[in-house]
Amino acid sequence: IKFYSLNKLDYDVHSLPYSLRILVENVLRHLNNGIVTEEHLANIFERKGEIPFYPARIIMQDYTGVPAVVDLAAMRDYVAEKGGDPSKVNPEIPVELVIDHSLIVLYHGTKYSLEENMKAELNANKERYSLLKWASKAFKNFRVVPPGKGIIHQINVEHLARIVFYENGLAYPDTVLGTDSHTPMVNGIGVLGWGVGGIEAEAALLGQPYYMRVPEVVGVVLEGEPSPEVTPTDIVLTITEKLRKKGVVGKFLEYTGNLEALSAFDRAVIANMTPENGATVGYFPIDGETIRFIELTRGKKKAKLVEKYAKLNLMFREEEPKYDDVVKIDLSKVEPSVAGPTHPEDRIPLKKLKESFKPKKKVKIVLEGEHEVEDGIVALAAIASCTNTSNPFNILAAALLAKKAVERGLKVKPWVKTSFTPGSRVVVKYLENLGLMSYLEALGFHVNGFACASCIGNSGPLKREVEEAIGEGLVATAVISGNRNFRRRVNPLIEHTYLASPPLVVAFAIAGRINIDFEREPLAYDPNGKPVYLRDIMPTREEIKGLEKIVGEEMFKEIYSNLFESPYWDMIKANEGELFEWDDKSSYIRKPPFFELEPLKGDIKGARVLVFLGDRISTDDISPAGKIDPESPAGKYLRELGVDNLHTYGARRGNHEVMMRGTFARFKTIYWPTGEEMSVYDAAMRYKQEGIPVIIIAGKQYGVGSSRDWAAKGPALLGVKAVIAESFERIHRSNLVGMGILPLQFKDPSVRKELDGSEVYDIIGLDDLYPGKTVKVIARKPGKTVEFEAIVRLETPIEVEYIRHGGILKYAVSRLLS
């Protein structure tokens, strides 16, 4: 095999972290193409400056993919209008879009739930799916995985990832950018990749390099062996807590030490929660276990190729590289845990769970008889999410626990909505082969969909009686085997969500409450009145490991033989032309006006604060994914269109009219010139009418959460010119830049406390922007003027270009037309 050899370099490659070796190969392969130079190579070894990076492929999901396709379709129109060739707007590298974010768990608890939910999904999403089907025919290199196949990252790990590409005799590493923050899950099997904003992905698929700062690499040294009672979920929750405390935002993590203690599936669980610890990448180098996993999922031939290439080109784990920093984590100290109630890094050891939650209110609920319940009841128990349903150990543990519970005559409490939404059909295949599916079903965990579902907030309605009790002030909780638990993420009525392993999800469904001491209190009583404790039905590690062997190569082969086909997909109609046929009446898909946005020109004068925010504002706070309130600006707009089913913001991301109205939908703001309180959208429109520029002021970790590009597109359409924050989360900062919004960071964070948002702002020094520049901000209000400095959070010269052009899309199209 031919390859760009790292062996021949004059640098000390052996001491370079494995993840950076992949970047070196990327630079070597593109060296002297007019953009990539020897200096970029040096930058990697010296950990300084930036490099242009060319991913081998892009992955998208439908929430972020639909707007990306809308942009590409609008770009084709724009190029055609300007006399250019629209077919040049075309992905230059493979793009795979997995439809997984739209299914809602409307039906649950019966063998018909899956079909009913899928029918409802297709009905509600015809227009969006029609656009995607058009795109799969109109664009080269663009494939769509139809709904009902699974979750993007799980499918990527199990099938889509090439690990090593082999084309025309040339081998090179698979590298991937994904428009979803959990893209690093694939780092668990030796593929370098991370989440980016939809806007950056669009630029990359159009052949633009992705510019990145060379990151520091933190070696995460795993020591010891996990004790028999812990699950991969317990391990990842512990790692998340420790790494958040250490502070690894924006860095590459590379796992080292006793990696033999972890299967490739376990590694994928750990890599999945990389955004939760704040790092960009959580890389596991290729080793014997990776090769075994590739053999299982992709066959012997592929495994051999990967092994050969990785060994020949210094990418197979052997010697210990030098890391910029090191953190040690002792696996033997991991204990059974959950995380919550509102942040994934807030781990709670299971034994301390009861004392962490103090119920206050009691209410009576009539559901299969009358029950007195109190705060902390589990209203939703969901085995869901790519994080944990990708791991057979976790799923088999849940199924075995269900079997033992059923055999002891236990039932799920009547107020719990149960849900099972695996990330791939392989899961059901092995559960059925082992005869375990029926036990999960006996407890109400029927498959409701192969999709994100509850993990993205599509958990559907809770039991009606529970919703009423919540309306009376009862605090209900959710337990989910996912990776995020921000307030109301999983369900709009639930503020407290606990992340837990799949077997614990089943256990909590049986217990029916979160404030339980599993050591001392029984889960429930069997029909003979005997108490049953968690320890009585928790399967042993040996039992689970024994069954894990059943998961075989033929299952992956069978399930993935028809990944891009589906009878449901065949029913979706789509036009076949080069240009998309926009429907002016569509409430889901509209041609966006991004190409008409004015770029930032020089200093900002006389600006008002559109919204004044605190710390840790998430992308979900900025651009929610969940249900549209009929009384909100977006709800009113849709009702004026005559739309009854308002659906979710996530599903309507192809319609900018909905999305700009939904931006900051959960907040009220003040229109400062008159002091009136109103929605953020209404205020923005008033400022626009008056020709007043607007900015946002925020605290620490602005944009925490996801790669959601609408969290930047929405503010751009509302006229926001700059965001001044105490700090930014990585992906959101680059999304802001991608949309032409200037990120500025308080030089002295304490200044924010002197402001209240009522001031009029001048931002001076924006004429000659460069990364890291300090600019002056003057905030005036009657009787007080605050003058302070802010740092321009642009990281590379190309980002200055993006701001000057009004964002990446306008920059890319200007190059196409020239």
Chain residues in the site for ligand SF4 (CB under 6 A): 100, 151-153, 180, 182, 385-386, 452, 455-456, 482-483
- Residue number with CB closer to ligand SF4 (452 or 514): 452
What is the three-state SS of 765-809?
Answer: CCCCCCCCCEEEEEEEECCEEEEEEEEECCCCHHHHHHHHHCCHH
Tokens 């999304």, residue located? 735
Beta carbon of residue 735, minimum distance to ligand SF4 (angstroms, whole number): 17
Q: How far is the CB of 496 from ligand SF4 (least distance, A)?
A: 18
First to last CA, the chain: 38
CB of 145 to ligand SF4, least distance (A): 13
**C-beta of residue 114 within 8 angstroms of C-beta of residue 428:** no
Q: What is the DSSP string of 434-458?
A: TT-HHHHHHTT--B--SS-GGGGT-
Which is closer to ligand SF4, CB of 102 or CB of 587? 102
CA gap 771, 13 in Å, rounded: 30
**All residues at 6 or more sequence positions from 313 whose CB lies less than 8 Å from its CB, including other chains:** 3, 5, 6, 7, 21, 25, 171
Minimum separation from the CB atom of position 708 to ligand SF4 (A)? 11
Q: Which two tokens stand for residue 74?
A: 């609008």
Between the alpha carbon of residue 585 and those of residues 63, 581, 582, the distances in Å are 21, 12, 9
Residue 386 or 794 with smaller CB distance to ligand SF4: 386
Q: Is 358 helix (H, G, I), strand (E, B) or coil?
A: coil
Which residue lies nearer to ligand SF4 by CB, 43 or 385? 385
Closest approach of ligand SF4 to the CB of residue 98, in Å: 9
Q: Angle at Cα 408 formed by Cα 402 and Cα 414, nearest 5°?
A: 65
Q: Which residue has the tokens 């990418």?
A: 315
Task: For 224-237, give the DSSP string.
Answer: S---TT--HHHHHH
Indicate the Cα dihedral angle 627, 632, 634, 636, nearest 10°: 120
Angle between helices 633-640 and 680-690 (to 10 degrees): 80
Shortest distance (Å) from residue 384 CB to ligand SF4:
7
Question: Sign of the CA dihedral 806, 685, 124, 272?
Answer: positive
Read off the tokens for 710.
Answer: 């609408």
Query: In the bound complex, what is the minimum distance in angstroms from residue 102's beta carbon to ligand SF4?
Result: 11
- By beta-carbon proximity to ligand SF4, the closer residue of 336 and 344 is 344
Q: Sign (positive/negative) of CA torsion 745, 750, 756, 761?
A: negative
Q: Which residue lies nearer to ligand SF4 by CB, 151 or 469? A: 151
- Based on its alpha-carbon atoms, the radius of gyration of the chain, rounded to whole angstroms, reads 26
Euclidean distance between CA atoms 242 and 224, whole angstroms? 16
Cβ-contact 206, 89 below 8 angstroms:
yes
Q: How far is CA 284 from CA 219, 230, 435, in A?
A: 10, 21, 33
Cβ proximity to ligand SF4: between 84 and 492 the closer is 492
Rank residues 156 and 313 by Cβ distance to ligand SF4 and give the closer one.
156
Q: Which is nearer to ligand SF4, 480 or 534 (CB)?
A: 480
Q: What is the largest CA-CA distance in the chain?
A: 80
Nearer to ligand SF4, 100 or 158 (CB): 100
CB closer to ligand SF4, 344 vs 806: 344
> 353 or 386: whose CB is closer to ligand SF4?
386
Alpha helices in 48-149 (DSSP H): 62-81, 113-124, 126-138
**Angle formed at CA 510 by CA 507 and CA 513, multiple of 5 degrees:** 90
Judged by beta carbon, residue 174 or residue 180, the one nearer ligand SF4 is: 180
Task: Name the minimum Å distance from CB 119 to ligand SF4.
Answer: 21
User: CB-wise, 422 or 635, nearer to ligand SF4?
Assistant: 422
CA distance 297 to 158: 6
| DSSP 8-class letter at 724 | E
What does the alpha-carbon distance between residue 315 and residue 287 come to, in Å, rounded to a whole number? 9
Residue 382 CA to residue 453 CA, distance in Å, equals: 9
Nearer to ligand SF4, 30 or 182 (CB): 182
Q: Cβ of residue 161: shortest distance to ligand SF4, in angstroms?
A: 15
Q: Give dist(CA 704, CA 616) in Å, integer.
A: 6
Q: Is the peptide bond before 341 cis (omega within 30 degrees of 0)?
A: yes
